[in-house]
Amino acid sequence: MKLKVNAKLDPKFQPLSVICRDMREATRENGQDIVIAVERNKGYTTTYKTRIFPDGTGHDEENFRFVERIAKSLLWVAGGYKIIIAGSDTVGNKIKDAYTDGGLRDFDVHFMERVYEQPFTVEIRAIEDAPKDKSAAAPIGRHLDGCRIGFDAGGSDRKVSAVVNGESVYSEEVVWFPKTNSDPNYHYQGILDAMKTAASHMPRVDAIGVSSAGVYVDNRIMVASLFLKVSDEDFDKKVKNMYIDVAKEIGENIPIEVANDGDVTALAGAMDLEDDSVLGVAMGTSEAGGYVDPQGNITGWLNELAFVPVDYCEEAMVDEWSGDYGCGVKYFSQDGVIKLAPYAGIELDESLSPAEKLKVVQGLMKDGDERAAAIYDTIGAYFGYAIAYYTEFYDIKHVLIMGRVTSGEGGVILLERAQEVLDKEFPELAKKIQLHIPDEKSRRVGQSVAAASLPKLN
């Protein structure tokens, strides 16, 4: 594989965006059509159509490995408890073996079962029976009419705003400790107090919007790090419906909408840019994503980009949690910086926390150290190719890059190299996609105000 822009510190990097392009090219003359789909709550279905080598022509293992990476990506982009493979029984059966209890993708299976409260299955179909896309039709967000509460649940502080016809008339930020508290009543009371405070600054409450880290289905909390210490029993009994229950205490029949904080960040960016098709990527402790579609809506997709593979190289670093290789968390987070440090010739003290290790590299960057610059240069190359891969699933006009990894001069280098990848390797995308690091001006809409805009009034 010859890349037009190299990942300076990682010569074995094999971007999945280029693999996809190469597969389309290699199968142009005699390829076999295949549709990969994932189905989630309410039958919502997201599909991906491509070509592979015909079954039984000596490429079965290559076909499987390629389709497995796409299926995995689609699963963590859109979410689902069912994978559908239409067009190849051979590949379909291998995927079925991989996505079972104890199989190659055991982690993914159990995570999705917890999110969607359904047993995970793989279905094999003929190409003529391939599923069609089915998405949520109702737009979410940008509703600024009436008196609204916007709540933003962070891991170290919670922020709430009282918003009247799109203007914040009151907001407060309160330090809290949700990740270290095992009593769900602590979380409930904190959320309720915040909302009651906001309500007291308006004549009435017409709607409540919530931005919170984690996975949400139909406003229910399915997986969220805020409740890390809460037992499984208490989680099921007292946490899952917490936002719905709090809304009922504020008033009867008040519409509430709960969304992942990545999506709300992308929505805030879209409102500020006054445009749509926005992908937000936060590079911090992990890689977080959010998306606003071409119609200006939040999709209800998972957008868990940390688990989406970007590197096809089987020798790529393995993520300790999911047990999989080449996934975004090891490329676009503080782990990505730490991973590259030894290759740049930087020794980091093992007794330091990951956040402290990142600060050391950022300090070297501030001092103009070329070794630190090489790390950001490499991450920028990774990211340019990853953006191209994300366009396999998202329609993108704007990419917002955020998080502590992107702060300072390192973020500028990262962005420049990503732009170079698009310019040289994917010129058709470079014409369409703009890259942004939000400044303070871009944050003026605010997370909690964007959250307040989520529900539509009854």
Please state the rounded mean pLDDT for residues 432-452: 75
Q: How far is the C-alpha of 397 from the C-alpha of 37, rounded, in Å?
A: 24
Q: From 291, 210, 201, 280, select the one nearest 245 (Cα to Cα).
A: 210
- Cβ neighbours for 395, distance < 8 A, ≥ 6 positions apart: 277, 293, 294
pLDDT at 442 over 60: no
147-264 and 268-443 share one CATH topology? yes
Instruction: Please give the average per-residue pLDDT across 227-247, as a whole number.
Output: 96
**What are the DSSP E strand ranges found in 270-429?**
278-283, 287-292, 398-402
pLDDT at 441 over 50: no
Q: What is the average pLDDT across 283-294? A: 92
Pairing state of beta strands 398-402 and 434-436?
parallel
Report how far apart, in Å, the C-alpha atoms of 370 and of each of 346, 363, 366 are.
Answer: 11, 12, 10
The residues with which 434 forms a beta bridge, in sequence order, are 398
In this structure, is the dihedral angle defined by the CA atoms of residues 267, 273, 279 and 283, taken in order, positive or negative?
A: negative
| Amino acid 284: pLDDT | 87
Strands 278-283 and 287-292: antiparallel
CATH of span 268-443: 3.30.420.40
Q: What is the CATH number of domain 147-264?
A: 3.30.420.40
Predicted structure pTM score: 0.92
List the beta strands (DSSP E) in 268-313.
278-283, 287-292
Read off the pLDDT of each residue in 210-239 and give the average, rounded to a whole number. 93
Burial class, 326, CB count within 10 angstroms (exposed 0-12 / middle 13-18 / buried 19+): buried
Taking only the tens place, the pLDDT of each residue in 383-413 is 999 999 999 999 999 999 988 899 889 999 9
Angle CA 283–279–357, to nearest 5: 5
pLDDT for 137 equals 57
Alpha-carbon gap, residue 176 to 366, rounded angstroms: 32
Residue 348 makes CB contacts below 8 A (sequence gap 6+) with 338, 341, 357, 360, 361
Q: Could you tell me if 81 and 75 are in contact, meaning their C-beta atoms sit under 8 angstroms apart? A: no
Report residue 197 as tokens: 């405070």
φ, ψ for residue 38, nearest 5 deg: -125, 140
Q: Positive or negative, the Cα torsion across 429, 411, 152, 238?
A: positive
Count of C-beta atoms within a 10 Å radius of residue 153: 26
Spatial separation of the C-alpha atoms in residues 196 and 202, rounded to whole Å = 10
* Average pLDDT rounded to a whole number, residues 270-294: 92
Q: Read off the pLDDT of residues 350-381 as tens digits, 9 standing for 90 and up.
A: 999 998 999 999 999 999 999 999 999 999 99
CB 454 within 8 Å of CB 149: no
pLDDT band at 213 (very low <50, low <70, confident <90, very high): confident
What does the mean pLDDT of the chain come to?
Answer: 94
Over residues 186-199, the mean pLDDT reads 97
* CA-to-CA dists, residue 74 to 2, 219, 224, angstroms: 26, 22, 21
Q: What is the pLDDT of residues 82-125, one digit of tens each?
A: 999 999 999 999 999 999 999 999 999 999 999 999 999 999 99
Domain spans in the chain, listed from the N-terminal domain onward? 31-129, 147-264, 268-443
30-53 confidence digits (pLDDT tens): 999 999 999 999 999 999 999 999
> Which neighbouring-strand residues pair with 262?
none
pLDDT, average across residues 212-224: 92
Nearest to 152 by CA among 448, 454, 453, 449: 448
pLDDT of residue 231: 96
Please give the Cα distance from 110 to 98 (Å, whole number). Answer: 13
Lowest mean pLDDT of 120-124, 185-189, 327-331, 407-411, name the range.
Answer: 407-411
Q: Is the dihedral of CA 286, 430, 300, 106 positive or negative?
A: negative
pLDDT at 432 over 70: yes
Tokens of 36: 């990969």
How does pLDDT run across 139-171, given as a tens digit for each residue?
678 899 999 999 999 888 899 999 999 999 999
